[in-house]
């Protein structure tokens, strides 16, 4: 079976700094995959290359056997990769529901004239987006807040809304960048369950960056460890926990 996502010798340099160095990643469909590493290891940069935000200096990314390098974020989104951001990027002035609806925009076949002149297609599409967005808010447990402006949402909920919005794009693969950052223990437990549900119920493959070891080890089936842009370990949570290089990287890092 070929992988859903496959990178080959992915490298990116910023001036003199090689932020990610000959990085190889292979994710199978339906996996729950963890990407970990100390601060500044290059994890977010990997996400940026997977989603068309940064152009790699060298190497390739293939998604469902199609080349991603050189495509822009819009094209990548339409191929079925979605993501959240480490530094939350919601549309603050839109409501919670509208934020989720923007994720569904790309699947609409409306023309601008349908909306300007309010054709029946316009109303059908609005209904479709609203229903889908509402379902996903329910899925993430945010339906009570649907009408609230996103900027008034408490921190933990903001991260969940980002996930709901990303899911509304109907992705095959969702990349979560530190989804538990800033959450308390209770919220983290809930989030773990949600991430599993995303994979099990929505059949979306999950790639997650997370610093909380308990959470990562608890949900991921496979974990890859980055340090200074290079892969230092790859394996099951059990293997990773006992890998001396990983322990060294985390202890030596700080």
Partner 1 sequence: MARLLGILVAAIAVTFGANWLLDSFVDEYVVRIINLCGISIILAVSLNVINGLCGQFSLGHAGFMAIGAYVSAYFTTTLRYFDEAATKYVAIEPMFASEWGFVPALLAGGLVAAAAGAVVGIPTLRLKGDYLAIATLGFGEIVTIMITNFEKVGGANGLPGLPPYSNTFWIFSFVVLVIMLSWTLQRSTFGRALIAIRENELAAEVMGIPASRLKVMAFIYGAFFAGVAGGLLGHLLQTISPATFNFMKSIEVVVMLVLGGLGSMTGAVVGAIVLTALPEALRDVESGLGLPGIRMVVYSLVLILLMIFRPQGIFGQKELSLKLLARLLPGKKGDK
Partner 2 sequence: MLPLLDSGVTFEAILQQVANGVAKGSVYALIAVGYTMVYGVLQLINFAHGEVYMLGAYFSYYPAKWLGYLPEGSEKPKVPLLVIGGLFVGSMAACAAIGMLIERLAYRPLRNSSRLAALITAIGVSLLLQNGGQMLFGADPKGFPQFVEQESVNLGPVALANTKIVIIAVAAVMMTGLHLFVQKTKPGAAMRACSFDMRTARLMGINVDRTIALTFAMGSAMAAVGGVLVAMDQPRLTPLMGLLMGLKAFVAAVLGGIGSIPGAALGGLLLGVAESVVGTWSTTYSEAVAFVILILVLLVKPSGLLGKSGREKV
Ligand X SMILES: Nc1ncnc2c1ncn2[C@@H]1O[C@H](COP(=O)(O)OP(=O)(O)OP(=O)(O)O)[C@@H](O)[C@H]1O
Q: In the complex, which residues of this chain contact partner 2 (CB under 8 A)?
A: 14, 44, 48, 53-54, 85
Number of residues that bind ligand X (CB under 6 A): 12
Using the contact rule CB under 6 A, the part of the chain among 34-42, 113-121, 158-166, 192-200 near ligand X is 34-42
* Binding characters for Mg ion, 86-105, by CB under 5 A (x = yes): x-------------------
* Binding characters for partner 1, 52-91, by CB under 8 A (x = yes): -x------------------xxx-xxx---xx-x---xxx
In this complex, which beta carbon is closest to Mg ion, that of residue 86 or of residue 102? 86
CB of 101 to ligand X, least distance (A): 29
Which single residue is written with the structure tokens 């080959």? 8
**Max CA distance (Å), the chain:** 65
Query: Is 176 near partner 1 (CB under 8 A)?
Result: no
* Structure-token pair, residue 194: 């949600």
Task: Please pick, from the candidates 2, 24, 92, 155, the single residue that binds partner 1 as defined by CB under 8 A.
Answer: 92
Binding site for ligand X (CB under 6 A): 14, 17, 19, 37, 39-45, 86
């Amino acid at each position: 079976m070929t992988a859903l996502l496959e990178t080959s010798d992915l490298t990116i340099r910023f001036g003199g700094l090689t932020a990610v160095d000959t990085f190889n990643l292979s994710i199978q469909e339906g996996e729950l995959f963890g990407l970990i590493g100390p601060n500044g290891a290059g994890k977010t940069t990997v996400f940026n290359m997977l989603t068309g935000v940064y152009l790699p200096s060298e190497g390739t990314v293939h998604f469902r056997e199609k080349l991603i390098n050189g495509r822009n974020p819009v094209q990548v989104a339409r191929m079925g990769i979605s993501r959240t951001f480490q530094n939350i990027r919601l549309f603050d002035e839109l409501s919670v529901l509208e934020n989720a609806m923007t994720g569904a925009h790309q699947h609409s076949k409306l023309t601008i004239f349908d909306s300007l002149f309010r054709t029946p297609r316009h109303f059908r599409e609005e209904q479709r987006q609203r229903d889908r967005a509402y379902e996903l808010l329910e899925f993430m447990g945010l339906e009570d807040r649907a009408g609230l402006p996103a900027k008034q949402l408490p921190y933990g909920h903001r991260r969940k809304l980002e996930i709901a919005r990303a899911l509304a794009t109907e992705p095959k693969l969702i990349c979560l960048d530190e989804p538990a950052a800033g959450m308390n223990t209770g919220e983290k437990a809930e989030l773990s369950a949600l991430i599993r549900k995303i994979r099990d119920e929505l059949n979306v493959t999950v790639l997650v960056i997370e610093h909380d070891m308990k959470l990562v080890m608890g949900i991921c089936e496979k974990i890859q460890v980055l340090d200074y842009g290079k892969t230092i370990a790859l394996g099951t949570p059990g293997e990773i926990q006992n890998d001396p290089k990983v322990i060294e990287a985390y202890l030596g890092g700080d």
